[in-house]
Amino acid sequence: MEYTDKQVQIIDTAQDLFAENGYDGTSIRDIAKAAGINVAMVSYYFGSKEGLLEAIFSRHAEYVRLKLENLIQDKSQSPFQKMEVIIDSYIDKYFSQQPFHKLVARSQLSNSNKPVKDMLNDMKKRNQDLIKRLINEGQKTGEFKKNIDVQMLMSTMLGTANQVMTTQDFYREVNNMTDLPDEEFLKILKKKLRAHLQALFKAILKNED
């Protein structure tokens, strides 16, 4: 779905507030006030707070879906190269879309809102189904092992990326990088995380037979 600039502004504002205060701790009035609009406009575009949350998830899910589907159709790259593209894409999203991933983390920890968890689970299932297709491609060519647990594989990537992001200050301190400018530090951190995940995926996926 194509969103107007005003809709994107409302979505981004809601995402930031949901990430900071939680879904249940944020009202439509809070969102409207932060976005500098009236409450009726939020209702007009999204219908409800739940509809707005669905738009947030749909927007991110659509980006990932298109990326994965394009990879599936790409015949110029090997299965391992495609998995490296997936790692790069997820890392870039983690670093550039921190409020969204904070919202996801809060939603996973909370059992109070079933519609939120259902939306999140649906998004994850669709993404994993596409990644399974990529892994099946590597298994057919003999590059990947059989019996890959896709959920555990994705949990390894997402959990590692999330841990790195949430503890980056500690990593910076113990590796004597506190004097580095933020931009330079994040560039180094992304490079190290990418290399680490690529090595993990290779160890998990590579068929040694």
Contacts of 148 (CB under 8 A, 6+ apart): 135, 139, 204, 205
Alpha-carbon distance values, 187 to 73, 85, 183, 193, 206 (Å): 30, 17, 6, 10, 28
> What is the per-residue pLDDT for 108?
66
> What is the per-residue pLDDT for 7?
93
> What is the per-residue pLDDT for 104?
76
The per-residue pLDDT for range 35-48, each reduced to its tens digit, is 999 999 998 999 98
> What is the per-residue pLDDT for 204?
94
> What is the per-residue pLDDT for 153?
93
> What is the per-residue pLDDT for 109?
65
> What is the per-residue pLDDT for 32?
94
Size of the chain, expressed as the number of residues it contains: 209
Asked whether the beta carbons of 201 and 87 are under 8 A apart, the reply is yes
> What is the per-residue pLDDT for 135?
93
Separation of alpha carbons 34 and 16, rounded Å: 10
pLDDT averaged per 10 residues, the chain (length 209)? 87 91 90 93 90 86 83 90 91 84 72 70 85 92 93 90 89 95 94 95 90
> What is the per-residue pLDDT for 120?
77
Q: Is 31 exposed, middle or buried (0-12, 13-18, 19+ CB in 10 A)?
A: buried
- What are the phi and psi torsion angles at 146 (to 5°)? -80, 165
> What is the per-residue pLDDT for 132?
92
> What is the per-residue pLDDT for 33?
94
pTM check: above 0.75: yes
